[in-house]
Structure 1
């Protein structure tokens, strides 16, 4: 590891200050031993209560790997197979293609478009939250409450849109997929999702600060408050106390935990399923989770609840999470024995960049230098990408051409992308935005981050 730890401390503090992050917890370990930790800011700004390694944060979509791990364990117990047809377990679900398997749900390749079904479970929280409309956007409406996955499936069955591809054909990140997996886990095991997580994962790993329900936060001290940005982000973050819940749907993003507990969890993957002498899952199960099964149009790869890729030539896996009051990231470089967790108490900040900054210091890697692509397009050629792109999940992107590039207006943010190759554009941080076409070359949608949005105008 780079010996200048003081410089690393300074860099992280500056990054948090620049991003206006109220509080952050970061822990890095090598071969299971903590080699670096940094706690910046506050879990409660008004009372100036500092963040610690035990501070409980929301982690949002980091939860998905827990759901995938439960599937692996149940498969090894002979209670299900990832090749099982989903209809076998969820016969009342009619909005599903006949050959869709559990594998397709795990890899977000079931062909589902963006839907509001999962967000309907958040409706009570969104309407109760004074900041709900501002932070979420247009709040969905529905007849009848969505409290759990069976209710969500009823709403999915009412959805009147086409699939975006055959099973396995196209990746599109879907909270609904992981909510359905929760229901399969419960039906295959005969246990509630909470009980199963506690028995299979939390207790063996001694993750004693990990829960799903907001109400259970009252039983703990050292819990973060939630913060949000003003519309222009020019002012400091403000306290926005309401946690968003999704009824009894936990498997897509409801976990609340500490950085120390997350480091215990990452040991499962670093150590091939064995932690503290306990074999949580076999090496084969871990290998299945960490295999890249699909590549997104913008060049990301996905396994089971994990992103798979390389960074500066090093094999890495990880996942991020984001929702109101949450930006999180976990990273594993298995061959190097490196694990990193970053948790923050505000949305829309790059927790991944904080993790990668520490990763570079540990392995003495140079900061990546983004090269300029020689690929260029005229303003006339760029015009075909202009328009409104949106999904029923609530996301909307307005794209407009500019000189040798495009401007993307995304809720409260504006970003510029430059041509990289045909139908592929590069963001300032090096990540890609892809445009999809039909057989005649007409633009049909945009793929940004992990989601597909259909072109509307």
Structure 2
């Protein structure tokens, strides 16, 4: 990829970032792009702290959330390579977890791939509620010691299904893996990651420890978000520093240091003459072990069959290449790491709210693959379609009014009549993301068909029952 091509891609990429930050009301975000073994682009956008207005830089520390899971997996696989862990061993060999499915023991492999048969047990939710001071919204479950942790996990026997029978994302499984790392290495999980991954990769400022990041001069303020529209507000917060979240989502880092991590992953474990593991170990981590739809061996992703490796999500057909990636959120900070091994190109992105806009990062990787994201990344055509349909509508002389709104990716019609309001989801008749034909389900359980009409001059109408609504321009 020539310097000219890089510049052209960045010229198209930066407006996508700014548009996403504006739409999602993200105060600050940073990005680094890696090609082969070099950082070819890095930049901070916006403010790391709204109060001081201090700018985000490529060195600004953010919580990376579940992107930590690949570090935990790498730690496990280093110990597998050293003969201290076997991924086929039952986890009860290493930690006091007594859950049994009645047929198969839960193996280390099953925890690595989120196929243990254990559903979410709310451990991350409890940690985040504590961070945000929202414990009153949840049951008062004791979680102050490792004894409490194992009591909570071992008490969930009735929740368990047969290991390997489905993909169930289980944060607690990675906390258990962190404990396996600690027990087999003889040092704490966080110290193991520091000595065996962070230090060799020159990630000297990356840390799990509150007393370390609080001393740093370039650390973001995390922001919880509440409300919508005029009611929207950003609430400043500390970062997630709970030992029961370390191995599942507790690392803080910067895009400059995460770039080193991406280089090592794309260069077979090598970084500036240092090797953190063998290439065969990384290949094992970067391949699908469990498809998201276990029954049909297919994925739910938009780029071919998709599934989970060891700490990484993998899409097998990203325009003819594999895409290895992962997102993360702590509710007040978020992250994305992604790379295309065959193109030796990767991207790291961090933000100081819990909702990282992943689509611009995917768009950049698509451009490197020679694609036009506005056409080839499903998010963008879908967004244009949704934006065209959403808005305020009224009938003849404005007697009846309604709105079409986007809620979590699903269109809803909000009808307004004589001071009362009702909302109904619009369900695409043919399942298409670009449909103009929909139905709503009435209180009686019947389907009522509705449709949009888009005219050549850009005018949009909505036909429902006896009414013909015109979109208000």
Q: Using structure 1 for the length normalisation, give the TM-score.
A: 0.76
Three-state SS of the structure 2 residue aligned to 1:229 is strand
* Distance verdict in 2 for CA 1:168–1:225, change over 3 Å: same
Q: Using structure 2 for the length normalisation, give the TM-score.
A: 0.73
Q: Deviations over 1:429-456 (max 9, x none)?
A: xxxxxxxxxxxxxxxxxxxxxxxxxxxx
Preserved CA contact (<8 Å) 1:330 1:339:
yes
Aligned to 2:144: 146
* Distance verdict in 2 for CA 1:426–1:21, change over 3 Å: farther
Offset of 1:217 from its aligned partner? 1.6
Aligned to 1:308: 314
Superposition map of 1:268-417 within 5 A:
268-297=264-293, 299=300, 300-309=306-315, 310-350=317-357, 352-367=358-373, 368=376, 370=378
**Distance (whole Å) between structure 2 residues aligned to residue 89 and residue 231 of structure 1:** 44
* Distance verdict in 2 for CA 1:248–1:167, change over 3 Å: closer
Preserved CA contact (<8 Å) 1:29 1:338:
yes
**1:245 aligned to which of 238, 241, 247:** 241
Greater shift, 181-190 or 223-232, is seen at 223-232
**2:33 aligned to which of 28, 36, 39:** 28
* Distance verdict in 2 for CA 1:260–1:191, change over 3 Å: same
Offset of 1:239 from its aligned partner? 3.4
Three-state SS of the structure 2 residue aligned to 1:65 is helix
Offset of 1:157 from its aligned partner? 1.6
Which has the bigger relative contact order, CA under 8 A and spacing at least 6? 1
Aligned to 2:72: 67
Superposition map of 1:5-24 within 5 A:
5-24=10-29
* Distance verdict in 2 for CA 1:140–1:266, change over 3 Å: farther
Aligned pair 1:264/2:276, yes or no? no
* Distance verdict in 2 for CA 1:117–1:43, change over 3 Å: closer
Give the number of equivalent residue pairs. Answer: 378
Offset of 1:160 from its aligned partner? 5.4
Aligned to 1:108: 114
Preserved CA contact (<8 Å) 1:121 1:247:
no
**Distance (whole Å) between structure 2 residues aligned to residue 256 and residue 185 of structure 1:** 19
Greater shift, 7-16 or 217-226, is seen at 7-16
**2:225 aligned to which of 225, 229, 246:** 229
Unaligned runs of 5+ in 2: 294-298, 301-305, 383-406, 414-423, 435-473
Aligned to 1:443: none
Aligned to 2:209: 213
Aligned to 1:161: 158
In terms of Rg, which structure is larger?
Answer: 2
Preserved CA contact (<8 Å) 2:175 2:244:
no
- What RMSD in Å do the two structures reach over aligned CA positions? 2.8
* Distance verdict in 2 for CA 1:357–1:243, change over 3 Å: same
Aligned to 2:85: 80
